[in-house]
Each structure stands twice: as C-alpha cells, then as structure tokens.
C-alpha cells in the first residue's frame, strides 16, 4: 500500500509541472498574438527567430525597416521550453517540512479537536443524566467518524481528513470503554461485541491506509486484551478468547502481504497469547473453559512456531529467528497453563520443555533456519543454549540422581562432534557452554564420581578431535583444553576422596601431578602448532600459564607439607615443570636465560627453606648455584651476559650474608667448614673470570 501512495504523490507532482508548462505556453501564445496585431504600425518590426534556452529567457529584438508600406513577414514557430529558474518542483514528501505539514499537523489537529470535545463535554455534563451523556458521546463520535470518512473518500490525498477519521475511530473506541467501565450500562460480553464491530470497521476503512489503521486497530486490540484481566466469570473465558482469536486472525490476514506489518502483527498476537496464559489464566479459576482456552492457545502458538522455523519450505522470507523465540515462549507459557489445569507430571513438563527447543535445533541442523547474518546465527545459538540451560536446571533440582549419571554428556558429545565434522562453530560453542553449565550445577549440588567421569570423557574426546584431528581453530583448542584440565582435576578429586580421605596432602599431589604431566605432554606434542606447522602465541601462552601455575602450587606445597617424602616428590615435580621450557630458554636471548636462572634459584631456595636448612647451608648452596650460573654464562653455545651477571650478583649477596648474618658466637665445625668452602668457591669464581678473560671472552 505504501508504493501506491508514493505513486499517487509522484502523479500529483507531474500534474503540477504539466500545468506550469501549459501556463507558459499560453503566455507565449498571447505574446505572439499581440506582436501580430502590432505589425500594422510603422515603423515595421520584424522578429528574428530565437531559440529559447533553458538557462535564460530570450527576448525577441525588434529590427526597424524604413518602409512606408506593410510587408508580410515570415511566421516563425518557436518552441517554448520550461525554465527551471521560473519555478521549483515541490519538495519530496519524505522531507521534514512535508511530513510536519501534512502528517504531524493533521494529528495535532485531531488531538486538539478531541481535547476541545472533552472540554465542551465537561461544561455541559453536570446538567445531563447518564442516558443523555452516553447518547451524546456516541452521537459526536459517530458523527465525527462519518463526516471525516466522506471527506477522506473525496480527498484521499489530504492527510488532515485521514487523521480526523482516526480521531473519530478513537472516540468511538473510548465511548465503548467509558460506557462499560464508568457508566456500567453494558456488561463485558456486550462490550466485546461492540469492540469487535469497531475492529471490523477499522479493518474495512483501513485497507488503503494500512499502516495508520493497523496502529489504531492494534492499539484497541491490545487494550481490549489487557481489560480481560478484570474478567472473573469463567463463562466469559471462551467468548473472550474467540474474540481475541478472530480479531488477531483478521488483523494477521489483512496485513499479511507486507513483511514488516506481518511481523508486527505476529509479535502483537504472540504477546497477547503470552499475556492470556500468564496473567489472565492466573486470575481465572481452573475449569473446563480455561483448559479449552489453554489448548487453543497451544495450537495457535505451535502454528506460529512451526511457520517461523519451517516456513521457508513453503515460501521465501517466512522464517524469523527473533519471532521464533517469541513463539517458543508463548508456546511454553500456554503449556504451563494447560499443565496447571490438568496437573501434569514434572517429568512430562520437562520433556515438553526440551521438545520445544529440540524443534529449533532440528531446524538449525537441517539448515532451514540458517542465516548469512552473523548476529542472527549468534542469536539462534544464544536463545537455544539459554533455553537448554533452564531445562538442565530443572532436571538438576527435580531429578538429581538422573543428572548425576552424566548421561546428558552423550547428547552434548554428539552435538560437539557434529559441529566439528561440519565445521559449524555455533554447535561447538553451544556444546562447550552447556557442558560448563552442567559442571557448575554439579559443583553447586552433590559432586558425583560418575558425573565427573562422563564430563572428563566428553572433554577428552572433543579435545582430541579439535586439537589433533581438525587442528584448525586456536580458540576452540584452548576452550576444550581448559575444560579437559578442569574435568581431570574434578574427576581425580572425587575418585580419591573416599580412598584417601585421611591423606589429604598425598591426594592433592595425585591430583596436581597428572594435570602438570598432561600440560607438559601438550607442550612436547606441540599443541600450539596448527596443521600447517604455524605456532599460535595464544595457545603457547595458555600452556605456559598452566605450567607456571603448576610450579607455584609445587613451591607452595614444598613449604606447607609436613612429610619429607612428599616434599621431595613436590621438589621433583616442580623441577620437572621448570625443565620443560629449558630448550626454548637456551635457544632464545639473554632475558629467557636470566628467567631460567631466577626460576631455578627460587626452587632451590624454597626447597632448602622447606627442609629447615641452617642459614650457612643455604648460603653455601646458593653460592654453588651462582658459580654454576657464571660457568654456564661463559659457555659458547648457550651462554649469556645476563646469566653471568645474575650469578655474580647472587654470589656477592651470599658473601654479604656470610659476613653480616651467618657469623655468630656459636662456633661449630659445620659453620667453620661452610666458611672455608665459601672462601674456596669465591676463589673459584675469580679463577673462572681470569680463565675466560685470557681467552678474550
């Protein structure tokens, strides 16, 4: 309908231009006739033919001839062209000025007229009874509507009469509401009959101005639905529902051709279904009428849901992701109303809840609801994922034993592998999010060994396919690697919780060590390289972070555990993690080698303190380590100046500690030996520097 209005406006513009051209032609014709009449007057004037230019007006120049008699002159036909400087075409209807003048002012005029009617009514109402008030109210409203309608038919291009007609229809609607709510002359059933007639009139009148009258009709439709919350009589449930269904269907049919109007009307209809199921259904007592109403609402919302998901099989541009989500909510709320009426079982409610989203998942798998727009695909995955999470929460709290079996991970594994095989990121991400949500729910409840075992198997299988079979997306590899580490830790904790309940420190070691070994294995297997052999810095950073966390945990436990055996095991574990990146450290620059020296120095110091070593023993050990750093720093293959300076500074700190802290009045053979050894080591450092200085290094 909007295209027809645009064509009518263009036709009006063309008519205006044609009339301007005709006026100019008439003026030129009159000028020529006047010149003909003046030819008999001496001196004789002869017109030279001139061509009219569109940029400037050309005036005929007279040429005087010295002849006493009249001579016939050749007649020249000139073509007069319209000059754009003489007039301007009317501005486009989409301009701000046109919109304000034709549309906004018409609406404002209608509002002012309506206010004036209200003010006049307020002056004379005190002198009238209810019957006169109602009669006058309907008379003015109907008269205004009829008068505006006839003027609108005569001049459809005049938006003032269109706005006035809309104002009259609004007055009629308000008259019905006031008659029922304020005067209480009619009952609810008769009110809905009058509103139905009013809606039919709106649809009949508004077939051409569909957008304007769709707004008016939908406003009345929504208000009448909202008024349904005040109905308490169960017998009126079915009539009111029929009223809403007939009006909703009529509006949907009338405004079906235009996609935007169709979607707007679908949104309104689904919103009314949701409102009826949640608000109106909650205030009406349960009975057969309400049960029938719930069934009807389920059928309508299911029809919307099926069309919005699978409508592309019948026609183009039928599917709409956002509307499908709204229809799913309307369908679920309608079923909840039905469940309250017939008292359905909880397990059946959960099955229906999942069945709704599985239909959407099926549409995605079949590619019917597939879109090329990224935000549409993201919304598809987002709302289906959120829907499933809500269902998982219901299962977790209502059927905890079933949830603890972890059997749901089988379905998630199928979704993840399908996404990996078909290269659909949405399904891979959905499986990862749902698995993480299930793990969080299990952590909140009772931790189950069987559940975490299933989660660990799921994570390992998906990680192997993602990292070593496909080996294409770094982010997916990181996500499932982290999930594998978390699931491994949770599985080992629950598996060893009962058997090693009294050996907490040993249990922690048996949990931490496999995680560190797994991380080391991924480093050696070059997880941070793709199938083409290119290294990914993000994956390398994640692996190094896990390695650093393992070393920090090992250092903490070296100091905190009481058993010397466990301390030794933690030392071995920490040193092993520190040695993983040694080849990279020695192959890199001086800063990497300095980092390696600091790392091993901290491990040595924490290990000595963990065993409560004497101060002079710590000094001697650190001094020995400093000599090693200096010697390695002079190596031709992997030496560096930074490592030598680090060893030299460390040795000076140890000497200062010997002199300032380790000297006491308590003289023991061990202390004396430590000082002797330290002195010899310092001579060794001096000898090393002298040796390499002679070699020019």
Residue whose C-alpha is closest to residue 91's, from 83, 82, 100: 100
In a domain, 240, yes or no: no
Crossing angle, helix 259-275 and helix 210-227, to 10 degrees?
A: 0
In a domain, 94, yes or no: no
Of 476, 499, 522, the position where a domain reaches its end is 499
Q: Would you say 647 and 597 are in contact if contact means Cβ atoms under 8 Å apart?
A: yes
pLDDT at 85: 42
* Residues 612, 491 within the same domain: no
Mean pLDDT along residues 480-494: 95
* Residues 684, 586 within the same domain: yes
* Residues 586, 487 within the same domain: no
Whole-prediction pTM value? 0.72
In a domain, 434, yes or no: yes
In a domain, 655, yes or no: yes
pLDDT in tens, 285-303: 888 999 999 999 999 999 9
* Residues 488, 609 within the same domain: no
Q: Distance (Å, rounded) from C-alpha 538 to C-alpha 548?
A: 15
Residue whose C-alpha is closest to residue 44's, from 64, 73, 61, 60: 64
Q: Is the pLDDT score of 460 beyond 70?
A: yes
Question: In the beta sheet, which residues pair with residue 44?
Answer: 65
Q: Would you say 168 and 215 are in contact if contact means Cβ atoms under 8 Å apart?
A: no
In a domain, 455, yes or no: yes
In a domain, 654, yes or no: yes
Q: Is the pLDDT score of 52 beyond 80?
A: no
Q: Distance (Å, rounded) from C-alpha 679 to C-alpha 651?
A: 11
* Residues 609, 465 within the same domain: no
Of 452, 472, 499, the position where a domain reaches its end is 499
In a domain, 253, yes or no: no
What domain range includes position 636?
581-694
pLDDT in tens, 11-51: 778 887 777 788 877 887 787 777 777 665 444 444 444 43
Q: Would you say 604 and 593 are in contact if contact means Cβ atoms under 8 Å apart?
A: no
Report cis status (omega within 30 of 0) of the bond before 43: yes
In a domain, 420, yes or no: yes
CA 127 to chain centroid: 59
* Residues 363, 482 within the same domain: yes
* Residues 472, 612 within the same domain: no
Of 460, 483, 499, the position where a domain reaches its end is 499
* Residues 350, 448 within the same domain: yes
pLDDT at 254: 86
Contacts of 455 (CB under 8 A, 6+ apart): 406, 409, 435, 438, 439, 442, 487, 490, 491
Q: Distance (Å, rounded) from C-alpha 206 to C-alpha 506?
A: 81
Q: What DSSP designation does 535 have?
A: B
- The three-class DSSP label of residue 529 is strand
pLDDT at 48: 42
* Residues 350, 488 within the same domain: yes
How many domains does the chain divide into? 2
In terms of Cβ atoms closer than 10 Å to its own Cβ (0-12, 13-18, 19+), residue 517 is middle
Q: Distance (Å, rounded) from C-alpha 126 to C-alpha 123?
A: 7
At 275, the pLDDT band (50, 70, 90 cuts) reads: very high
* Residues 493, 603 within the same domain: no
- The three-class DSSP label of residue 44 is strand
Residue of higher predicted confidence among 83 and 500: 500
Among the ranges given (86-95, 533-542, 552-561), the one the predictor scored with the smallest mean pLDDT: 86-95
């Amino acid at each position: 309908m909007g295209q027809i209005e645009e064509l009518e406006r263009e036709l009006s513009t063309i008519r205006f231009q044609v009339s301007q051209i005709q006026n100019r032609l008439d003026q030129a014709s009159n000028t020529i006739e006047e010149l003909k009449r003046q030819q008999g007057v001496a001196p004789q004037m002869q017109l030279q033919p001139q061509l009219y230019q569109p940029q400037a007006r050309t005036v005929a120049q007279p040429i005087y001839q010295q002849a006493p008699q009249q001579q016939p002159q050749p007649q020249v036909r000139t073509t007069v062209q319209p000059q754009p400087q003489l007039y301007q075409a009317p501005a486009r209807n989409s301009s701000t000025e046109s919109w304000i003048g034709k549309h906004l002012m018409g609406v404002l005029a209608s509002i002012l007229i309506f206010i004036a009617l209200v003010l006049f009514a307020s002056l004379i109402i005190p002198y009238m009874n209810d019957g006169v008030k109602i009669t006058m109210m309907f008379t003015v409203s109907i008269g205004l509507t009829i008068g505006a309608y006839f003027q609108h038919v005569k001049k459809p291009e005049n938006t003032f009469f269109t706005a006035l007609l809309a104002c009259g229809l609004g007055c009629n609607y308000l008259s019905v509401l006031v008659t029922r709510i304020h005067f209480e002359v009619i009952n609810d059933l008769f009110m809905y009959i009058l509103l139905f007639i009013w809606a039919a009139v709106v649809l009949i009148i508004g077939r051409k101005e569909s957008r304007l009258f769709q707004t008016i009709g939908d406003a009345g439709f929504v208000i009448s639905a909202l008024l349904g919350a005040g109905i308490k009589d169960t017998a009126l449930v079915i009539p009111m529902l029929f009223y809403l269904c007939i009006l909703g269907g009529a509006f949907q049919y009338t405004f079906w051709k235009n996609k935007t109007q169709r979607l707007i009307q679908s949104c309104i209809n689904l919103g009314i279904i949701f409102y009826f199921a949640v608000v109106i259904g909650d205030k009406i007592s349960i009975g057969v009428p309400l049960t029938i109403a719930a069934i009807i609402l389920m059928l309508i919302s299911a029809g919307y849901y099926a069309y919005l998901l699978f409508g592309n099989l019948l026609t183009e541009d039928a599917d709409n992701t956002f509307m499908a989500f709204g229809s799913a909510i309307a369908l679920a709320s309608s079923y909840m109303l039905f469940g309250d009426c017939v008292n359905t079982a909880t397990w059946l409610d959960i099955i229906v809840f999942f069945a709704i989203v599985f239909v959407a998942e099926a549409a995605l798998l079949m590619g019917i609801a597939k879109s090329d727009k990224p935000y549409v695909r993201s919304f598809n995955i987002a709302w289906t994922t959120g829907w499933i999470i809500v269902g998982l929460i219901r299962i977790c709290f209502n059927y905890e034993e079933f949830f603890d079996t972890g059997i749901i991970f089988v379905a998630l594994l199928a979704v993840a592998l399908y996404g990996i095989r078909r290269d659909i990121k949405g399904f891979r991400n959905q499986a990862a999010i749902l698995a993480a949500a299930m793990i969080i729910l299990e952590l909140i409840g009772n931790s189950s060994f069987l559940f975490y075992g299933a989660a660990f198997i799921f994570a390992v299988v998906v990680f192997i396919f993602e990292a070593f079979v496909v080996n294409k997306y770094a982010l997916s590899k990181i996500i499932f690697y982290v999930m594998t580490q978390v699931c491994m830790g949770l599985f080992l904790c629950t598996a060893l919780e009962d058997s090693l309940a009294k050996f907490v420190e040993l249990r922690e070691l048996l949990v931490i060590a496999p995680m560190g070994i797994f991380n080391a294995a991924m480093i050696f297997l070059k997880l941070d390289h793709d199938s083409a052999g290119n290294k990914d810095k993000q994956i390398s950073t994640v692996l190094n972070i896990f390695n650093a966390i393992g070393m920090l945990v090992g250092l903490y436990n070296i100091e905190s555990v009481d058993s010397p055996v466990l301390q030794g095991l933690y030392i071995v574990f920490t040193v092993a993690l520190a040695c993983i990146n040694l080849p990279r450290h020695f192959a890199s620059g001086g800063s990497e080698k300095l980092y390696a020296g600091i790392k091993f120095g901290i491990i040595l110091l924490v290990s000595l303190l963990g065993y409560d070593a004497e101060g002079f023993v710590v000094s001697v050990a650190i001094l020995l380590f400093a000599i090693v750093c200096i010697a390695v720093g002079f190596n031709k293959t992997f030496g560096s100046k930074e490592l030598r300076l680090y060893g030299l500074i460390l040795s000076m700190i140890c000497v200062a500690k010997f002199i300032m802290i380790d000297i006491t009045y308590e003289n023991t053979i061990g202390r004396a030996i430590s000082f002797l050894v330290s002195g010899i080591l310092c001579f060794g450092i001096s000898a090393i520097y002298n040796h390499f200085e002679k070699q020019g290094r």
